Amino acid sequence: MALEKVQVNIPDDDYWRRQIKCQHACPVGTDARGYVRAIAAGDFEKAYWIARGPNPLASICGRVCGAPCEAACRRGAIDQAISIRALKRFVTEKYGPESFSQETLKPIELLKRVFGAGRGRERDSEETERLASLSGFSGDFKLPNAKGEQVAIIGSGPAGLAAAHDLALLGFRPTVYEMEPIPAGMLAVGIPEYRLPRELIRAEVEVIRSLGVEFICNTQVGKDISLAEIRRRHRATIIAIGAKRSRTLPLPGGDGPGVLGGVEFLRDVALRNRSAASTLNQLGRRIVVIGGGNVAFDVSRTVIRQTGFDISRSALRQVKGAEVHMCCLESLEEMPADDVEILEGHEEGVRLHTSLGPVEVVRGTSGAITGMKFKRCLSVFDEEGRFAPRFNEQEMTTIPADTVLWAIGQRADLSLIEKDSGIRLLERGGIEVNPQTLQTSAPDIFLAGDLAHGPRLLIDAVASGKRCALSVYGYLTGRKLEPRFNSLHLDLKGYKREADYEKLARTAIPAASVEERAASQTALVERGYDGALAVREACRCLDCGVNTIFDSEKCILCGGCADVCPELCLRLVSCDRLAGDPALAELLQARSGGADLSGMSAIVKDENKCIRCALCAERCPVGAITMERFCFSSEWAVANPT
């Protein structure tokens, strides 16, 4: 009987990049492995530079990033992923803009401190200097040229801030128009303070302001100033307004008092609006939040903390012991919310009801809400993974309620788009955009963030803003930019790992007690790692940039490497069992000279099992195995510069 074929790949640069799963998964290409290993080595400052290099909002991401790097982390296949986001927070708290007082610093002093000018940083963390070099703006971080061309950015959320940051480094003069009274968009009015401190947001914004970016707040484009006027004043315009309106469903009883949008509710709470205080007075004891994502938990947990607001003692007595019921279509396993949100929400008193579909907002004779009616959801997705919920119409449930809050998604307000703008709108909403350049049908108008690709993670918005800035650069200068990858293999002589690193359990992130964090809107939930805990957690990293490289000219096929491997990720197989792309067939033909492949052997490695322990290299009697670090970075460069 023929043995099963073994699928193999011939490694190339793309293969090695994909092995560093955390960096490959990051939309801005942050070398998470690099800063995690720097923390493990005790070099916290180097770790900060690596984290900050490609990410102008590194400090914010250290608190609230969705962390696709953690989702991709190879360690997660063994036990639990590395706490990459928490490690980023640890180093940004030490060296980021939130780590020092900015009031006494002049803009140039602030920039030098944040960017570490003259500190001899690692080259692969200096994206800011590479961007600046495209416009001839010195890496010494002198203040940008006040004569640079003007670019408008509508919206100061993560996409708008990232675009403004990079455009300033590219020598332009960005002006950011924000409808809210403070910069930062949904970062400031959509994420609760218990997750993201407002002083940290202000610190990040101040760095961008120091680059020469002008912020004009309390100005809604389409109302306080027209898009046409914006275009008249600026050579190019980026629309990065985000999705700031709650989606709802047209249900019986859904129109009327007591039904609120979750995003709007969070905004009012964040801005301490008096209307928010009035709303809180009227929430009653029973609140139903509809939705199963992180925003739904933000809304639910914010309601629980409402006693921290500046409202009357009678109102406090009224809502004491309030019940917050969170209801969603998905089962517990299908919910899009992060596990930590589900756990912390449960600890704080959120009552979760899964597999329920909303049917009706029930009202009494006076018009006041008395309950929310649901039907049982049997499944959310069809066999092909498409959203197609099925319900049991006979199984109904009514949850008593005084207020209903929607948190099932968000949409953008496109009222700023004028009919004669030349911007083509899509039939189902949204704006037509080139997915590569982020340019609309109006050549001077670009999109970034949610408008460009739909609601995604914070780090996706940052990546979108950065890419949009480069497209604007190409449009205004006529210099086409293209991505270039830099890669390097380093032979690691005497490579060693920390003792028992493979046995270390994930280090829990210290957090405040339920009583402490539920006391107010500003009491932080996560307290973060100290130095000892950060180093311990960082030591768990498998260092996926390190690879076992085999020299076939030296190998004697003794099998010692396979015998010593603790994870059984190495094995010797006959070459006639190998299967792969045409390049593999060509290689085997060249090596065999046409001879019978069954008489030849190969060493096959399962990358997903390898923990980079180096025991195979130590065991090899002929030195055919070396441990080599693969490093890569990407940058945008002018194509065919003259």
Domain membership flag for residue 385: yes
pTM: 0.92
For 102-112, the pLDDT digits (tens) are 777 888 788 87
Does residue 316 surpass a pLDDT of 50? no
pLDDT for res 483: 79
Domain boundary among 407, 440, 468: 407
Calculate mean pLDDT across residues 224-230: 98
In this structure, the strands spanning 570-574 and 601-605 are antiparallel
pLDDT for res 75: 96
The contacts of residue 156 (CB under 8 Å, 6+ apart) are: 164, 176, 178, 180, 183, 184, 185, 205, 215, 240
Calculate mean pLDDT across residues 243-254: 94
Domain membership flag for residue 173: no
The contacts of residue 170 (CB under 8 Å, 6+ apart) are: 131, 132, 134, 135, 137, 469, 473
Q: Please tell me the least confidently modeled range out of 298-307, 348-357, 373-382.
A: 298-307
Helices 84-95 + 32-40 axis angle, to 10: 70
Domain membership flag for residue 394: yes
Domain membership flag for residue 423: no
pLDDT for res 642: 53
Report yes or no: 545 and 33 within 8 Å, Cβ to Cβ.
yes
Q: Hey, how many other C-beta atoms are within 10 angstroms of the C-beta on 427?
A: 5
For 149-175, the pLDDT digits (tens) are 999 999 999 999 999 999 998 989 999
Calculate mean pLDDT across residues 37-65: 95
Domain boundary among 407, 435, 466: 407
Provide the mean pLDDT of the chain.
Answer: 90
For 261-289, the pLDDT digits (tens) are 999 999 999 988 755 544 556 788 899 99
- How far, CA to CA in Å, does 120 sit from each of 123, 140, 143, 487, 635? 8, 12, 20, 20, 20
pLDDT for res 311: 41
Does residue 492 surpass a pLDDT of 50? yes
Domain enclosing residue 560, as ranges: 6-15+546-638
Q: Please tell me the least confidently modeled range out of 15-29, 80-94, 421-435, 474-488.
A: 474-488
Does residue 13 surpass a pLDDT of 70? yes
For 493-542, the pLDDT digits (tens) are 989 999 999 999 999 999 999 989 888 889 999 999 999 999 999 999 99
Helix, strand, coil proportions of the chain in percent (round to 5)? 35, 20, 45
Report yes or no: 285 and 258 within 8 Å, Cβ to Cβ.
no
Taking phi over 0 as left and psi of -120 to 50 as alpha, with beta for the rest, 300 belongs to alpha
pLDDT for res 136: 55
pLDDT for res 635: 75
The domain spanning residue 585 has which CATH number?
Answer: 3.30.70.20
Backbone torsions φ then ψ of 522, nearest 5 degrees: -100, -5
For 89-130, the pLDDT digits (tens) are 999 999 999 998 877 788 878 887 887 754 544 433 456 666
Half-sphere exposure of 611 (CA within 13 A, CB side): 21
Domain membership flag for residue 337: yes
Does residue 11 surpass a pLDDT of 60? yes
The domain spanning residue 399 has which CATH number?
Answer: 3.50.50.60
Domain boundary among 356, 383, 407: 407
Q: How many domains does the chain have?
A: 2
What is 559-583 written as a DSSP string? Answer: -HHHHH-TT--EEEEEGGGEE--HH
Domain membership flag for residue 441: no
Domain membership flag for residue 587: yes
Calculate mean pLDDT across residues 402-422: 95
Q: Please tell me the least confidently modeled range out of 192-196, 275-279, 603-607.
A: 275-279
Domain membership flag for residue 149: no
